[in-house]
A = this chain, B = another copy of it.
Amino acid sequence: MVVPNQDRDGVKVRAGCCTPFINEQLTDSEATQLAETLSLLAHPIRLRLLAILARHAGHVCVCDLEAALPVKQPTVSHHLRLLRDGGLIEGERRGQWVYYAIRREALARVRTLIHTFFDQLGES
């Protein structure tokens, strides 16, 4: 791969190290979108919220989530909001309580997105 330096059109051309062209298969916007999705997942409290909501297929109230996690109520609400804004869960008020549930279609889309990324990595 190492070749001597040379001029082209009177301009010194960097040479020696290199793969001449890098055609990316992952565009800027694709990378940004995937990174945002991964960032939404990349917090232990949010992962545990998803795990709890997925297990309790029905709906779980915030007070139970708070009881199951080592953070205070405003922090639970904060992470629930991020997950809701990201479309991964939905919340519904019933009387005093707000019940959250996982959105399995959205989760499936995320899974596919990540799966596809790894598949692209695989085909070297």
Which A positions have Cβ atoms within 8 angstroms of B?
2, 14, 16-19, 22, 24-26, 28, 31-32, 34-36, 38-39, 41-48, 50-52, 54-57, 60-61, 63-65, 67-68, 70, 95-97, 102, 107, 111, 114-115, 117-118, 120-122, 124
Contact = CB atoms under 8 A, between A and B. Distances in A.
Contacts of A107: 118, 121
Enumerate the 5 nearest inter-chain pairs by beta-carbon distance, A residue then B residue, closest first: A38-B42, A31-B44, A26-B51, A54-B121, A57-B124
Given A24-B51, A38-B41, A18 B124 contact: no
Contact of A124 (B42, B54, B95, B97): B54
A17 B63 contact: yes
A107 to B, nearest CB: 6
Given A24-B68, A61-B18, A44 B35 contact: yes
A18 B60 CA distance: 7
Contacts of A14: 63
Given A2-B95, A17-B64, A22-B67, 4 more contacts: A26-B47, A28-B48, A41-B42, A54-B122
